Structure 1
């Protein structure tokens, strides 16, 4: 349970910080917010992305599937599907040359780093026992 939620939390935190930086420098603009008091990055990065990758992590771990391939597929769905829909409906704007391909690569890098970090922490915890 700890492993699963630690992975999801790591994806959430990394994506949130990256999203805040991208928004601050104008690459990514979210046009609607839940409330003006909360940070700009409280959107897909706080809900759908971590949960989606958490499910992929759990599925691949339980069924001995290739996590890297599943991550690439889900990243493509999020980057080319959901971010395109968000841009089409005016919920998201890409500026300064930012596009869905950049979102895809950011997704992949964040999830791989979260995966390796989780596995390294898990290895250290199991080694300490």
Structure 2
């Protein structure tokens, strides 16, 4: 299939597909007319790239994973992918913990029942909000 067909089948813009080719994630065959020809395996690879991006893998990590999948199984290959995956799992778990903390802090934001109550207790609400913002600020990576 040509790039337009692959784009339609995958929902990924043609310029993104060209970029993936440029950085070595995709390797279509070329006709004498210079048209790129993609296989079903390229569509599957595109889907894998998008799933890995959703899992917060960057393109360099994705390239290592894709290259490793094309090699014969070896201890070195396993180790390389294992390091990337373990690192990503740790990062995702850290994000989950941070999001859980954020949810707890947001849930603790005091809300007034009406504008009169807020006006009467504005100092309390502002101080509480300030404490929550400071807690969140310390937990995020700035």
Q: Which structure would you say has the larger Rg?
A: 2
Normalising by the residue count of structure 2, what TM-score does the alignment of the two structures yield? 0.29
- Specify which structure has the bigger relative contact order, considering alpha-carbon pairs within 8 angstroms and separated by 6 or more residues: 1
Normalising by the residue count of structure 1, what TM-score does the alignment of the two structures yield? 0.31
